[in-house]
Chain A
């Protein structure tokens, strides 16, 4: 499933989706950037509450399919701008990381 279809099916809010064709595979949850860098796999949906510009850089380098901001978090202006230019998809949801992961798990099963 690609990122665009994923956003539609989950109903997560699309903040920006400059790379709609990225394939979604699995989930990684974490807020410590180096931890994510070391553990997230290519194509993962990365669920986090960390929404600054560095989050976008990590998503770019770790090849995650999208950043999913939990707990209703929204990116700041810098981060949003960087995401658009670097082709990083950002979604947002009022759900907690756990609830969001449950929902994704049902969909990807």
Chain B
């Protein structure tokens, strides 16, 4: 376990010019590790969606990517408002994003479904007014 590589990023809330930077950096790092293109793509997409969610909804947060021998784990943690109804949030097309956010191309309601689709496991823990923690794994 001590050989695990850990990348950690602070994600700024409401900053749409640098949104996605952590994911782009992770993609670069994974490429340097020589992982296969499909795995890199899945991790990058799942991470990007989670990162954008923290930017839009949670005022930012912390993203951690752990590369072990058997899997890549993405942990996203924020102190945002929490998710009221996770089942509803998981539905494709459901979004609480504002008009302004939508005009930037976000808010399609596909973020969480894309995260689930691109990972082998995904766990969401969320408490209203406390925050949300998401742990996703892509098996190698």
The stretch that binds A, out of B2-10, B67-75, B78-86, B110-118, is B110-118
> Is the pair A34, B20 in contact by a Cβ cutoff of 8 Å?
no
Q: Which of B17-69 contact A (CB under 8 A)?
A: 17, 19-21, 23-24, 27, 37, 41, 44-45, 48-49, 52
Number of A-B contacts (CB under 8 A): 70
A86 to B7, CA, bound (A): 20
> Is the pair A62, B20 in contact by a Cβ cutoff of 8 Å?
no
> Is the pair A54, B106 in contact by a Cβ cutoff of 8 Å?
yes
> Is the pair A57, B24 in contact by a Cβ cutoff of 8 Å?
yes
Chain B contact residues: over half helix, strand or loop, or mixed?
helix
Say how far A58's CB is from chain B's closest CB, in angstroms: 7
Q: How many residues of A contact B (CB 8 A)?
A: 21
> Is the pair B108, A61 in contact by a Cβ cutoff of 8 Å?
no
Q: Which of A12-70 contact B (CB under 8 A)?
A: 31-35, 37-38, 42, 50, 52-55, 57-58, 60-63
Say how far A97's CB is from chain B's closest CB, in angstroms: 15
> Is the pair A57, B105 in contact by a Cβ cutoff of 8 Å?
no
> Is the pair A54, B24 in contact by a Cβ cutoff of 8 Å?
no
> Is the pair B49, A54 in contact by a Cβ cutoff of 8 Å?
no
> Is the pair A42, B49 in contact by a Cβ cutoff of 8 Å?
no
Binding site for B on A (CB under 8 A): 31-35, 37-38, 42, 50, 52-55, 57-58, 60-63, 78, 86
